[in-house]
Copies of this chain bind each other. A is one copy, B any other.
Amino acid sequence: MNKVRIGIVGLGNMGTGHANYLIEGQVKGAELAAVSDIRPERLKLAQEQWGDNVRTFESPEAMFRSGAIDGVLLCTPHYEHPLQAIDAFSCGLHVLVEKPAGVYTRQVREMNEAAAGSGKVYGIMYNQRTNPLYMKLRGLISSGELGEIRRMNWIITNWYRSQSYYNSGGWRATWAGEGGGVLINQDPHQLDLWQWATGLMPTRIRAFCSFGKHRDIEVENDVTAYAEYENGATGVFVTSTHESPGTNRFEISGNRGKIVIEDDKMTFWRLRQPESEFNRTNTNAFAQPECWKFEIPVSGGGAQHMEITQNWTNAILHGTPLIAPGEEGIKGLTLSNAMLLSTWTDGWVDLPIDENLFYDKLQEQIERSANSKR
């Protein structure tokens, strides 16, 4: 193979965006070969725009079995990702799935198992992993520059969404339609970056979600989560959609100092000597380690979605390692599921979570919602 023939499932905002840069030939070694959408008007528009070069299918199943494509890009509602990916793998296709990987971890684990059995290239559209700020953070942490992490505090409250946004689609902010609120719709990047950049998943979580705060919706739009880690570190993750102007500030404190990412800048307060070493030898009751504050140079903007699609294409053609392996989509989703589950059970949630319990609790929400609203 010297060209990957890509099929896109779902021509909404994301799917159309991916189609456009593929059509423009911006991903080397890839071409848009087919699209599928259950909405006839979308297919009609595709045909008008792209003509016979791009085949159109009324169902993903038909496209998967057409022989017209080598891989699929899944841009459908969250719930459908695992179902479609599993089907695509069974048809011998490579898969690149939009985030979030799914709504509940049980279905995503099944998707991961199907991927593992298929031998196909399986990626997830975590385009923020190409953001130089977080790549740099990951590099600083993994190389030991920050020392062992002791505490994290991420305030990500700048996902402002007014009632008008929530009213713009009946499926929005419903348990049945999207499977959640800010955690599943707005935060998948941050939840992934939190674990990816730091290399740490919590051992347990205690979280406090508010549902429909200052908004007429049924899902969570205000969350404070507390996380504990195996090494004794702790973390706080705060997110909401009703605050204006919000904040996006990620602070990580370690044995060698502190890093803060805010306003697209990274500041590093670096200790000349690790705190643990200073503490062991210091004899002055009120002394502190010497600290140097500086800004970390971060260059370039990252090619975002296009870079992820290029990387996935390269992985198919040349075996290039993936920036965002599909299997890792379950990590951010685990954090998100754990936060809801902790609220619903009003208690600690140990990781990995009880995926069946989460599924049952989610069904309860869906049923309650159907009873009260429809």
Binding site for B on A (CB under 8 A): 150-151, 153, 155, 157, 160, 162-165, 168, 206, 208, 210, 213-215, 222, 224, 226, 228, 232, 234, 236, 238, 240, 242-247, 251, 253, 257-258, 269, 271, 275-276, 278-280, 282-289, 291, 293
- Given A151-B240, A153-B238, CB of A163 within 8 Å of CB of B210: no
What are some 18 contacts across the A-B interface (CB < 8 A)? A151-B243, A153-B238, A155-B251, A157-B253, A160-B288, A162-B282, A162-B284, A163-B282, A164-B279, A165-B285, A206-B208, A224-B234, A242-B275, A244-B278, A244-B291, A245-B293, A246-B253, A247-B258
Q: Do A162 and B244 touch across chains, with their CB atoms under 8 A apart? A: no
For residue A275, which residue of chain B has the nearest CB?
B244
Which of B206, B234, B246, B278 touches A210 (beta carbons < 8 Å)?
B234
Taking the nearest CB of chain B, how far is it from the CB of A199, in angstroms? Answer: 20
Nearest 7 pairs of A and B residues by beta carbon: A165-B285, A168-B285, A243-B253, A245-B291, A162-B282, A162-B279, A245-B269
Q: Which B residues touch A253, using CB under 8 A?
A: 157, 243, 246-247
Which of B164, B215, B251 touches A287 (beta carbons < 8 Å)?
B164
Which of B155, B164, B242, B283 touches A150 (beta carbons < 8 Å)?
B242
Q: Do B160 and A151 touch across chains, with their CB atoms under 8 A apart? A: no
